[in-house]
């Protein structure tokens, strides 16, 4: 008798949107994504960079790591719980250092390039 692992469907799922024309392909978001839902495109954008794309949608949890690490603020994160979809992270026009506190976690500092 063999046993197989049964995975339950996630109640909370995430979805991200990436502004591919502003992405510089730094790959920080791909490294920050614990679910391997982001990779670099083989195509290039108008700036001449390979840009990040959201490809493994079933694994995304909407954890916000990609949006928090993005130095150019080109990623929006949505989280769905059942049928409800809500924007939970959008960071844009980063001009100086900032400190972010997310849900009581440790502060995250970022410096724009």
Please choose, from the candidates 11, 58, 52, 9, the residue with its C-alpha nearest in 3D space to the C-alpha of residue 32.
52
Q: How far apart are CA 95 and CA 72, in angstroms?
A: 9
Supply the pLDDT for residue 99: 66
Q: Please, which pLDDT band fits residue 92 given cuts at 50, 70 and 90? A: confident
Domains, the chain, ordered by start: 12-92 (3.30.70.20)
Beta strand residue intervals within 1-111, DSSP E? 12-18, 38-44, 50-54, 75-81, 84-90, 98-100, 108-110
pLDDT digits (tens, 9 = 90+) for 16-53: 999 999 999 999 999 999 999 999 999 999 999 999 99
Supply the pLDDT for residue 110: 53
Tokens 């916000």 -> residue? 64
Inform me whether the pLDDT recorded for 101 exceeds 80.
no
Show the tokens assigned to 87.
Answer: 């924007």
Q: How far apart are CA 79 and CA 44, in angstroms?
A: 28
């Amino acid at each position: 008798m063999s046993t197989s692992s049964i995975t339950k469907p996630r109640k909370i799922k995430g979805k991200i949107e990436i502004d591919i024309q502003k992405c510089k392909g730094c790959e920080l978001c791909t490294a920050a994504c614990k679910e391997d839902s982001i990779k670099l495109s083989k195509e290039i954008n108008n700036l001449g960079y390979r840009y990040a794309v959201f490809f493994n949608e079933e694994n995304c949890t909407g954890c916000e790591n990609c949006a928090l690490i993005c130095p150019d603020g080109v990623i929006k994160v949505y989280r769905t719980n059942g049928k409800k979809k809500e924007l939970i992270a959008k960071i844009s026009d980063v001009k100086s250092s900032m400190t972010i506190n997310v849900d009581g976690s440790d502060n995250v500092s970022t410096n724009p390039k």
